[in-house]
Amino acid sequence: MLPLPTAQNTPVTNPSASRVSVVVIGYNDAAHVADAVRSALAQGPVVHEVIAVDDCSTDGSADVLTSLAAADRRVRVIRRETNSGGCGTPRNDGIDAAAAPYVMFLDSDDVLPSGAADALLAASLRHDAEVASGLCVRRELPSGREVPWQPELYTKARLVARPELRTRLVHDTLCVNKLYRTAFLREHGIRFPEGRFIYEDFVFTARVLAAAPRIALVPDTVYVWHVRRAAAKLSISLDRAGIANWQARMEAHRQSVEILRDSRGTGGKRLARAARAKFVDHGLRMYTRELTARGKEYQREWWALTRAYLATFDAADLDAAPAPGRVIARVVLASEEPRDLTRLKQVAARPARLAPPYPTASDATPVWAADLPQVTLEHLLVRPMRLLPVAVDGALRPGAGGTRLTLRLRELYGRVADAGPATVDVELVHRQSGRPGLRRTAAFGAERPGETWVATVLLDLGSLDDGVWDVRLRLHFDDGTTRDTTAHAVAGPGLLRRTVVPSRRRGVLLVQPYATQAGNLSVRLAPGVRGVAGVAKRRLTRLTRSLRGSGSR
309-335 pLDDT per residue, tens: 999 999 999 999 999 999 999 999 999
State how beta strands 452-459 and 403-410 pair: antiparallel
Dihedral sign for Cα atoms in the order 315, 317, 323, 326: negative
Average pLDDT, rounded, for the chain: 90
pTM: 0.87
Closest CA to 255 of 315, 181, 316, 312: 312
- What number is the average pLDDT over the span 114-130? 97
Residues 6+ apart with CB under 8 A from 411: 358, 417, 450, 451, 452
How confident is residue 141, by pLDDT bands cut at 50, 70 and 90? Answer: confident
Amino acid in the structure at residue 241 = A
Q: Are residues 344 and 423 in the same domain?
A: no
CB neighbourhood size of 135 (10 A): 25
pLDDT of residue 238: 60
In a domain, 72, yes or no: yes
Question: Percentage of residues in the chain with pLDDT exceeding 70?
Answer: 90
Q: Is 507 exposed, middle or buried (0-12, 13-18, 19+ CB in 10 A)?
A: exposed
**Greater confidence, 77 or 506?**
77
Q: Is the pLDDT of residue 507 over 90?
A: no
Mean pLDDT (whole number) for 36-48: 97
Q: Is residue 276 part of a domain?
A: yes
Report pLDDT for 434. 85
How large is the average pLDDT for residues 298-304? 98
Identify the three-state secondary structure at position 321.
Answer: coil
Asked if residue 410 and residue 358 are part of one domain, the reply reads: no
Please state, in angstroms and rounded to a whole number, the distance separating the CA atoms of residues 355 and 490: 12
**CA atoms lying within 13 Å on the CB side of residue 451:** 5
Whole-angstrom distance, CA of residue 229 vs CA of residue 220: 26
Q: What's the rounded Cα separation, in Å, for the pair 56 and 79?
A: 6
Instruction: Classify strands 521-527 and 436-443 as parallel, antiparallel or unpaired.
Output: unpaired
* HEC-encoded secondary structure of 355-409: CCCCCECCCCCEEEECCEEEEECHHHHCCCHHHCCCCEEEEEECCCCCEEEEEEE
Please identify, among 382, 403, 425, the residue that sits at the C-terminal boundary of a domain. 382
pLDDT tens for 264-276 read 766 899 999 999 9
At which of 350, 382, 414 does a domain end?
A: 382
**407 has which bridge partners?**
394, 455
Mean of the pLDDT values across residues 406-429? 97
Closest by Cα among 164, 165, 107 to 136: 107
- Confirm whether 185 is domain-assigned: yes
Give buried/exposed letters for 473-500 (b at 16+ CB in 10 A, else e): bebbbeeeeebebbbbbbeeeebeebee
- Among 361, 382, 403, give the residue marking a domain's end: 382
Q: How far apart are CA 374 and CA 376, in angstroms?
A: 6
Question: Are 305 and 394 in the same domain?
Answer: no
Lowest mean pLDDT among 193-197, 199-203, 446-450: 446-450
Range of the domain at 209: 20-228
Question: What is the model's pLDDT at position 3?
Answer: 38
**CA dist 165 → 159, 160, 170, 270 (Å):** 10, 7, 11, 9
What pLDDT is stored for residue 549 in this prediction?
45
Question: Quick one: 64 and 213 in the same domain?
Answer: yes
Residue 1 lies inside a defined structural domain of this protein = no
Nearest to 282 by CA among 340, 224, 199: 199
**Is residue 351 located within the same domain as residue 458?**
no
**Both 393 and 299 in a single domain?**
no
Does 60 share its domain with 177? Answer: yes
pLDDT of residue 473: 97
DSSP assignment letter at 154:
G
Q: Which residue has the higher pLDDT, 467 or 400?
A: 467
Shared domain for 188 and 63, answered yes or no, is yes
Return d(Cα 90, Cα 519) in angstroms, integer. 39
Q: How many Å apart are CA 242 and CA 552, to the nearest integer?
A: 9
Sign of the Cα pseudo-torsion (218, 220, 221, 222, in order): negative
Q: Which amino acid is at 510?
A: L
237 lies in some domain: no
**pLDDT digits over 144-173, tens only?**
888 899 999 999 999 999 999 999 999 999
Domain co-membership, 189 together with 268:
no
d(CA 552, CA 380): 43
Is the pLDDT at 366 greater than 70? The verdict is yes
pLDDT band for 534, please (50, 70, 90 cuts): low
Question: Which pLDDT score is estimated for 13?
Answer: 43
Assess whether 455 and 400 both reside in one domain: yes
How many separate domains does the chain show? 3
For the stretch 523-530, contacts whose Cβ atoms lie closer than 8 Å and that sit 24 or more positions apart, written own/partner, are 523/396, 523/428, 523/461, 523/468, 523/469, 523/471, 524/467, 524/468, 524/469, 525/461, 525/464, 525/465, 525/466, 525/467, 525/468, 525/469, 526/466, 527/466, 527/503
Distance of alpha carbon 328 from alpha carbon 319, whole angstroms: 12
Residues 27 and 95 in one domain: yes
